Structure 1
Amino acid sequence: MPIATYCLVALDCPDPEALAAFYAAVLGGEVKNDGEDWYDLYAPGGHRISFQRAPGLTPPEWPRGDRNSQQLHLDFDVQDIDAAEQQVLSLGATPLDLDDQGGERGFRVYADPAGHPFCLCRA
């Protein structure tokens, strides 16, 4: 018997409303807020990502592990990685590692506007 039931992933960020909007543009779904310091994205498929205000957040430095390691990252499957890349970049993502080794690696790494790493993965 499990001890708990999965609820959500919460990301610290300086502007939770803006980061929730970024991920809503990437994934779809509905953003709801519970005050100015906490926003939830209810994404299709029943998944929930929350965004919590953290003033002075120092974003992780990918791929370094000696200081401010990535701590966690999100993976998103996409049908057309080139088209998806252009879309996330236009939304404010920053490229971190785009060398997918000619498609052999199957993913590319970006940072969201608050600096959290995420990957676009070939479905």
Structure 2
Amino acid sequence: MPVATYSLVALDCSEPESLARFYADVLGGKVEQYADNWYDLYAPGGVRLAFQRAPGYRPPDWPQAGANSQQAHLDFDVDDIEQAQEQVLALGATPLDLDDADGERGFRVYADPAGHPFCLCRRR
């Protein structure tokens, strides 16, 4: 018997509402304000992401290095990685590692507008 059930992933940031809306544009779903410094995204499929204001927030370094290294990242499956890439870039994502020209690796890495890394992964 498990000890707990999954609830959410919370991302620190300086602008929780705008980051929640970025991910709502990427994943779909509904953004709700929980508190002054906290927003939830209820995405399709029962996934919940939360965004909390963190005073002095600094985005993680990419690639992983030093004291401010990446602590976590999100993966999103897509059917058409080229089309998905165009869309996330238009929404404000920054490319970090697009070294998948031959299609063998199966993923590309981006940063959201607050600097958190995420991957678009070819659906298998």
User: For the superposition of Structure 1 and Structure 2, which TM-score range results when normalised by the shorter chain?
Assistant: over 0.9
Alignment map for 1:1-40 (pairs within 5 Å): 1-40=1-40
Letter in 2 for 1:20: A
Question: Where does structure 1 differ by over 4 angstroms across 4 or more consecutive aligned residues?
Answer: none
Other-structure match for 2:63: 63
1:90 and 1:15 mapped to 2: Cα distance?
19
Gaps (5+ residues) in structure 1? none
Cα offset for 1:79? 0.6
How far, CA to CA, are the matches of 1:16 and 1:23 in structure 2?
11
Instruction: Structure 2: give runs of 5+ residues left out of the alignment.
Output: none
Partners of 1:86 and 1:56 in 2: CA distance: 31
- Give the secondary structure class of the aligned counterpart of 1:45: helix
Match of 1:109 in 2: 109
State the Cα distance separating 1:56 from its structure 2 match: 1.5
- The TM-score, its normalising length taken from structure 1, stands at 0.97
Report the CA distance between 1:67 and its aligned residue.
2.7
User: What's the % identity of the aligned pairs?
Assistant: 72
Aligned residues: 123
The one-letter amino acid paired with 2:31 is V
Q: Does 1:43 align with 2:43?
A: yes
Mapped to 2, the partners of 1:94 and 1:57 lie a distance apart of: 18
CA distance in 1, matches of 2:67, 2:96: 16
The verdict on how the C-alpha distance between 1:106 and 1:66 changes in structure 2, with shifts beyond 3 A counting, is same
Q: Relative to structure 2, which stretch is displaced further, 72-81 or 94-103?
A: 94-103
